[in-house]
Amino acid sequence: MRNFPIDPVTFIYGAIAVCGGVARYLRGYVDGAPFSIRIFFASAFVSGFGGWMFAVLGESISMPHALLFVMAGVGGLFSDQTMKFIFEYVQGKTQ
C-alpha cells in the first residue's frame, strides 16, 4: 500500500466540512445575499479548516467514529462559531 501524506479519513473530514461551509454560503445566496466567487472559496476554505478541527477535537476525546463525520459537517457549517468553541474548550482544559 502507498504511503499517503494525508490520512484518507482525515481528508474526508475536511471534504465534509467544506460541504458544510458551501451549504451555509449557498443558503445565504438563496436567502438573497449576492454571490461572490471569492467569498465562496474563502468560506469553503475556512469552513474546511473549522470542521476538520472540530472532527480532530472529537477524535481526541474518543467520540464514536460515525459521529466524527457529523462533527466535521456541523463544524464546517458553523465554522467561525466552531473555532470559538474549540478555543474556549482548550482554554478551559489548560486552566
In the prediction, which pLDDT does 62 show?
93
* Cα(7)–Cα(21) distance, integer angstroms: 22
Degrees, nearest 5: CA angle 79-82-86 = 140
- Four-CA torsion 74, 75, 81, 86, nearest 10 degrees: 130
C-beta of residue 33 within 8 angstroms of C-beta of residue 90: no
Look at the pTM and tell me if it is higher than 0.85. Answer: no
In the prediction, which pLDDT does 51 show?
92
Percent helix, strand and coil across the chain, each to the nearest 5: 80, 0, 20
| 8 — pLDDT class (breaks 50, 70, 90) | confident
For residue range 19-77, what is the model confidence (pLDDT) as tens digits? 999 999 999 999 999 999 999 999 999 999 999 999 999 999 999 989 999 999 999 99
